[in-house]
Amino acid sequence: MIKILIVDDEKPICDLIDLNLSASGYHCVTVQNGLDAIDRIEKEEFDLILLDIMLPGVDGYDVMEYVRPLKIPVIFITAKHEVKDRVRGLKAGADDYLVKPFDVVELVARVEAVLRRYNKADKQLTAGDVIVDVEARRVLKAGKQIVLTNKEFGLLVLFMQNKNVALFRETLYEKVWEDEYIGDSRTLDLHVQRLRRKLGWEQNLVAVYKVGYRLEGVQ
């Protein structure tokens, strides 16, 4: 399982990130200051670090100096939004830079992108008795292969990567169809209905009023 260290001095933000990344299948560890972060990095192995810049004692840039020789990917997550701050963060060695406040779906997407870049992304996803081999594009339910269209497969991967998270229709459409969402949800709704039937997820793939859909009730 992918292991992620979350470093932020605001515990509610740590808890929010932990909740959503854990729901997506990642194992998370949280700390609230730079010294504790360095201490955990010395004792444990991490696949990715989400790092705030403005930390008490040792700030994010100092932590980055310690991390850089270890070749652990880092995403800065910070309220410092000016271009010069982004440039400094990227020049310090960060792989990405996300400004607060951020959308949880965007955070998960950026985490996945960085992990793929380092060949650390999970190549197999599981939800209940459904197993997806992402590279082979193979879907099994209770050991039986399920045939999906490319769009259905794309939706399934998004739902499984974001379990228990409400995904906006706009996000689903733009990521799977790679086109701008113009407010017509009939195509998306039809594909979700077909996915429900094929996987027996009528009670699990639920519509969220005025938002989109959420996969729930499967681990």
Whether cis (ω within 30° of 0) applies to the bond prior to 69 is no
Do the domains 148-215 and 3-117 match in fold?
no
Question: What's the CA angle centered on 207, arms 188 and 123, to 5 degrees?
Answer: 65
The mean per-residue pLDDT over the stretch 15-29 comes to 87
Whether residue 140 has pLDDT greater than 70: yes
Give the integer Cα–Cα distance in Å for 119 and 116.
5
Q: Using 50, 70 and 90 to split pLDDT, how confident is the model at 120?
A: confident
Residues 182-208 pLDDT 10s: 777 789 999 999 999 999 999 999 999
Residues 80-119 pLDDT 10s: 777 777 788 788 888 898 888 888 888 888 998 898 888 7
Reported in sequence order, the residue ranges of the chain that DSSP labels E, i.e. its strands, are 3-7, 27-31, 48-51, 74-78, 96-99, 124-127, 130-133, 138-141, 144-146, 167-168, 205-208, 212-215
Superfamily covering domain 3-117: Response regulator (3.40.50.2300)
Whether residue 11 has pLDDT greater than 80: yes
Whether residue 20 has pLDDT greater than 90: no
Under a CB-based contact definition with an 8 Å cutoff, are residues 17 and 24 in contact?
no
Whether residue 122 has pLDDT greater than 70: no
Under a CB-based contact definition with an 8 Å cutoff, are residues 214 and 166 in contact?
yes
For domain 148-215, the CATH class is mainly alpha
Residue extents of the structural domains in the chain:
3-117, 148-215
The reported pLDDT for the residue numbered 171 is 87
Mean pLDDT (the chain, rounded): 88
